[in-house]
Structure 1
């Protein structure tokens, strides 16, 4: 069976999915607060490193697994079951002790919280008309950022006054998302009774040359983008910015995403894909690259605004591209491949940038970032000129 038609329930179902994604991001245990929890529960230095690593591994693995499972068993089931397991994992964390069980449950809870992203993206073609899908992906991205922006406001006081509350929150939001997933009225069926094979699902996106190029470009852009958490704070500190100024400048990105996404995404949806993808890459590369010329908080804010606009353009474009290029029954795997490459860049980009910053200097780093972003933009124009 193929994907069911959108029907009259599509917009309502999309609103339920939007709310579920917001809950998902609100309650997802993020590395900074997992570190605070590990410190508060006296896991020691080794335990802290282990739980942070487990959180990253869980998120990266789930990017692939969530998409393949969505193709094989359906996005709605993947979301529902992952959230049900997430409830159990989060609820168990406050009552277990010792590094090994805590690390195992952090890995599981993070994976369960991350699996719905490719599955939710795989639902968009069933819930939105073709001309509205870029906007739909943009709205899901908007929802994730609203949830991520609210999460520290809730998680911070919980970790300070009641550390187990961090995972109690995760259990509650997972349960709410599971309930919403259960009542979604429209969902794509797997293309075959057994869905897409796991091995085929994992390697399929890389077999198309155009998709493979886009995934390589995604990895490069992710490495560049991650300088916001790697070399950028080092550069701002070296320029004499106070911690308060640093925090205000970096928080600007989240504010701009929430404020500008509803305005920018509809404009991007009307642009030719190659031009839009190239513009996004150029804004990310040049925005971060011009950090080399920033000398005060105001100039840093301008650079942050530039690469944030590139990010706002990138996310819905990428989700729509991977969906449009995926064969029937493999939409989830293609969404998962994109998420995997993006997360891989996040894991590698920050330490690589910091190493270049301290060994070769900021001028070399930011020039390299600008050059790579420009190269990706030119590559997009060449590959997608037709």
Structure 2
């Protein structure tokens, strides 16, 4: 009993109260995330759209998301975390209902575009809020717990959505809108604004006009975002190409649903143990291992025919996902200057939106012109190359994170120039902190 209490304390103890309100909002929001899970089925079976028309609608959702993360990141820094998040959630709830009521293809497409814009505009604000309220030493645990809530909600939503769809597809849109509004209400009442007000010294000042130029001239961060883009291109094949591959093997959509559910189940069961497993270890090594494991999992799909083999591949790449996500999010937090936290979150989220729009297209082209095996073995090759890239770029990232920590701790340093400093060649590489920080939420097909 004492051991269980100690594990719970080590996993979830000592975190700020405002974090738990954010965590609760995440869980509630994801429990109602019905629409995206069943959108393709709704469009083709309920509305009678063709597969290409359904693909267009889902693609427009991704296009709107790319625009939303960019705008949301800017507003998060200039306007504030809470107002950005509230407007985004209210807009998303409204457009959720509008999409459920839309009938012509043009109205459905426009609704998906606007829904993607509002829904993803909330992501940078939420990420910046998490970084604001959680101390640096606790961020690995906090992001892992939030990621656990995302996947618990996703797994439950997939089951609940199936029952809700039997009562009518409109119910999916209504429940999704309600949970989005409840999340906004929790944050409005219990969390409040977390952005630091500007001071006469400039500490905590709003982001300068040259913020975009600052990010675009930050090769260390952009390199990290590029690696996440390639990771997302591989990871999102489980939504687009995996069900097609399983169909070619004679397996039913229900079997695909059961197999892919293993992803959420494993994360819910195992994610709470991951922070203790990777604590104190080099983030570069953890991310490299995650890339290899994920690549192996997707690569083995080339040889899968039976449902149990497909299930095994899902379990393998899920382990890679579990290692990758916590380290990713905390690293984003460390590489983001405080005054540009929202914009940096937005750029990182943008990599997921680009992957969401392009992964199905690229996967389909490779599969059609080169073959199914080439697609999955290519995913394995990308995983290996990413592992090497993480090992090479890791020391520079750690030096950059150390510099930003020192700058944040320095008394009253004006933020007239938040451009990341250029590491000196003679400076030794910093070792990973005793409690590394950083992981990004793999937007759950989100």
TM-score scaled by length of structure 1: 0.87
Q: What residue number does 2:28 align with?
A: 23
Q: For residues 74-111 of structure 1, what are the alpha-carbon distances to aligned partners after superposition, in whole Å with 9 as ceiling and x for unaligned? A: 22222122122233333445555544444333332333
Relative distance call for 1:345 and 1:49 in structure 2 (3 A) is closer
Q: Residue 364 of structure 1 aligns to a residue in which SS?
A: helix
Q: For residues 145-187 of structure 1, what are the alpha-carbon distances to aligned partners after superposition, in whole Å with 9 as ceiling and x for unaligned? A: 2222222333333333233222221321122111111123464
Aligned match of 2:144 in 138, 146, 159? 138
Q: What residue number does 2:206 align with?
A: 195
Alignment of 1:64-79 (within 5 A): 64-79=70-85
Q: Residue 183 of structure 1 aligns to a residue in which SS?
A: helix
**Is the contact made by 1:158 and 1:166 (CA closer than 8 Å) also made in structure 2?**
yes
Q: Residue 264 of structure 2 aligns to a residue in which SS?
A: helix
Q: Greater Rg, structure 1 or structure 2?
A: 2
Q: For residues 27-69 of structure 1, what are the alpha-carbon distances to aligned partners after superposition, in whole Å with 9 as ceiling and x for unaligned? A: 3453453345446774754864553333222333223332222
Alignment of 1:1-386 (within 5 A): 11-28=16-33, 30-38=35-43, 42=47, 44-45=49-50, 48-93=54-99, 97-185=103-191, 187-189=193-195, 192=198, 195-196=206-207, 200-385=210-395, 386=429
Relative distance call for 1:33 and 1:230 in structure 2 (3 A) is closer
Q: For residues 297-342 of structure 1, what are the alpha-carbon distances to aligned partners after superposition, in whole Å with 9 as ceiling and x for unaligned? A: 3333222111111111222222111110111211121122111112
Q: Distance in 2 between matches of 1:118 and 1:138?
A: 17
Q: Which runs of no fewer than 5 residues in structure 1 stay unpaired?
A: 1-7
Q: Which runs of no fewer than 5 residues in structure 2 stay unpaired?
A: 1-12, 199-203, 396-428, 430-446
**Is the contact made by 1:37 and 1:159 (CA closer than 8 Å) also made in structure 2?**
no
Q: Distance in 2 between matches of 1:50 and 1:245?
A: 26
Q: Residue 271 of structure 1 aligns to a residue in which SS?
A: coil
Q: Distance in 1 between matches of 2:185 and 2:259?
A: 38
Residues matched between the structures, number: 378
Which moved further from structure 2: 188-197 or 59-68? 188-197
Relative distance call for 1:243 and 1:89 in structure 2 (3 A) is closer
Q: Distance in 2 between matches of 1:311 and 1:226?
A: 11
Q: Distance in 2 between matches of 1:328 and 1:36?
A: 42
**Is the contact made by 2:15 and 2:142 (CA closer than 8 Å) also made in structure 1?**
no
**Is the contact made by 2:69 and 2:124 (CA closer than 8 Å) also made in structure 1?**
yes
Relative distance call for 1:160 and 1:120 in structure 2 (3 A) is same
Q: Deviation at 1:286?
A: 1.8
Q: For residues 337-368 of structure 1, what are the alpha-carbon distances to aligned partners after superposition, in whole Å with 9 as ceiling and x for unaligned? A: 11111221232123312322232123322332
**Is the contact made by 2:205 and 2:339 (CA closer than 8 Å) also made in structure 1?**
no
**Is the contact made by 1:34 and 1:51 (CA closer than 8 Å) also made in structure 2?**
no
Q: Residue 84 of structure 2 aligns to a residue in which SS?
A: helix
Cα root mean square deviation, aligned: 2.8
**Is the contact made by 2:124 and 2:346 (CA closer than 8 Å) also made in structure 1?**
yes
Relative distance call for 1:27 and 1:270 in structure 2 (3 A) is same
Relative distance call for 1:98 and 1:130 in structure 2 (3 A) is same
Relative distance call for 1:142 and 1:117 in structure 2 (3 A) is farther
**Is the contact made by 2:69 and 2:347 (CA closer than 8 Å) also made in structure 1?**
yes
Q: Distance in 1 between matches of 2:83 and 2:265?
A: 33
**Is the contact made by 2:22 and 2:191 (CA closer than 8 Å) also made in structure 1?**
no
**Is the contact made by 1:20 and 1:180 (CA closer than 8 Å) also made in structure 2?**
yes
Q: Distance in 2 between matches of 1:295 and 1:343?
A: 31
Q: Deviation at 1:275?
A: 0.7
Relative distance call for 1:357 and 1:319 in structure 2 (3 A) is same
**Is the contact made by 1:322 and 1:331 (CA closer than 8 Å) also made in structure 2?**
no
Relative distance call for 1:156 and 1:204 in structure 2 (3 A) is farther
Q: Distance in 1 between matches of 2:159 and 2:35?
A: 13
Which moved further from structure 2: 240-249 or 79-88? 240-249
More helix by share: 1
TM-score scaled by length of structure 2: 0.76
Q: What residue number does 1:5 align with?
A: none
